[in-house]
Amino acid sequence: MIKLTAEQEQFRKAVARFVDSEVVPAAAAIDERAEFPTNLFRRLGALGYLGLRYPEAYGGAGADMVTYCLFAEELARGSLSVAAAAAMQSLMGTYFVYKYGSEELRQRYLVPALRGDLVATFALTEPNAGSDVAGITTRAERRGDRYVLRGTKTWVTSAPVADMLTVAAKTSDERGMKNIALFLLDRGAMRGITLGKAIDKMSVRASVTGEILLEDVEVPAEHLLGGETGGVEKIGGILSEIRVMTAAISVGLARAAYQAAVAYARERTAFGKPIAEHQAIGFKLADMLTSLHAAILVTYQAAAQLDAGGVITREAAMAKLFASETAVRITDEAARIFASYGLAMEYPVQRYFRDARFLLPGGGTSEILRVIIGRELDWDRGAAFA
């Protein structure tokens, strides 16, 4: 069992208070309107939450991964949409400019993004290239001191509102992953960046999503992040964090659904007693709690291993796989316990049920994760309990 420090427990309680007072009351409305949560997003920046994983020199907190997961879990308990937008901002959307950008780029883009003044995103997926990264066709052609980018990105989180984008593009026509590079694009300063089709989703509706069209976008050479090759390796460098974070938000959503189901089962009566006292419902709740407990353990063990400096490709994949699938099952069981009211928009359980589907593709589909886990099937009992 991962034991939290006094500081981590105090932090978790502070985030929980913020979620209960500001996120939960707004969650239904922003979901119904499919509206980017601008006010909450800025509040997250003002409170320093968007910079948790970055050094204090850039307005961050230098927090460890366990602390970051506590934040992600509590935020997802209130609204998975808000958690998704915050995750994009605080990890993928800002990581590459911090890791590979110049000090000038960090000051111009990273610092205001961590304050919540700029919305950041990461654009990798294309209409015909998702898990098959080698299949991307967005092209970056060098012309003097600039690159010219052309292509289409889709399923871009925060696309309709993004100010800065880290874009993966190929620097040659050669097929494969070696020639993929990352570029930082400024939507306000660079011509040719337009919003394509907005994607109307059934889940995480307030985490707005869409296509980005790149039409001869001229990008200064200094906005190339880390060289003309090695983009896949750079993305791989943060994948374990992304997967553990996704496991944490899965736990948060599953907690919300479980707690709603318990509360309803204690209040709803049938045949003269609360339905929680009927064995059929009691067994469901017992299984939900057991699965939730296991998901918490695998998630925070992986986070602690990251903090210890371990390479946890397999463990991160297992955490994301188990926690996300657990969230899907728990939200489904919660909706079943609510019966007809599980379909009613007046109860949040229908939102939990819808939102859980978002967790399956992010950070790698369950099928891809099983492939990764399957490459390392040996089990060291000592390492598992380290």
Q: What is the pLDDT of residues 64-77, one digit of tens each?
A: 999 999 999 999 99
Q: Which helix (H) or strand (E) holds 190?
A: none
Of 86, 73, 19, 66, the C-alpha closest to 305 is 66
Those residues with Cβ within 8 angstroms of residue 81's Cβ, 6 or more apart along the chain or in another chain: 27, 30, 31, 37, 204, 205, 206, 207, 355
Over residues 27-42, mean pLDDT: 97
pLDDT at 2: 73
Say which residues have a Cβ less than 8 Å from residue 197's Cβ, sequence separation at least 6. Answer: 154, 210, 211
Pairing of strands 180-186, 164-170: antiparallel
Q: Which domains does the chain have, with CATH numbers?
A: 6-119 (1.10.540.10), 121-229 (2.40.110.10), 232-384 (1.20.140.10)
CA distance 184 to 338: 46
State pLDDT tens for residues 334-379: 999 999 999 999 999 999 999 999 999 989 999 999 999 999 887 7
- Whole-model pTM: value is 0.95
Mean pLDDT computed over 135-142: 93
pLDDT tens digits, residue range 219-247?
A: 999 999 999 999 899 999 999 999 999 99
Q: Is the pLDDT confidence value at 129 over 80?
A: no
Tokens describing residue 26 = 């707004």
Q: What is the pLDDT of residue 254?
A: 98
Q: Which residue has the higher pLDDT, 386 or 261?
A: 261
User: How confident is the model at residue 174, as a pLDDT?
Assistant: 80
Query: What pLDDT digit, counting tens, does each position of 252-299 carry?
Result: 999 999 999 999 999 999 999 999 999 999 999 999 999 999 999 999
- pLDDT attached to residue 14: 98
Alpha-carbon distance 262 to 327, whole Å?
16
Q: Are strands 120-123 and 164-170 parallel, antiparallel or unpaired?
A: parallel
Distance CA 351, CA 357 (A): 10
> What's the CA gap between 246 and 157, in Å, rounded?
14
Q: Assign residue 369 a region (left: φ > 0; alpha: ψ between -120 and 50; beta: otherwise).
A: alpha
pLDDT tens column, 162-217: 999 999 999 998 877 789 999 999 999 999 999 999 999 999 999 999 999 999 99
What percentage of the chain exceeds 70 in pLDDT? 98
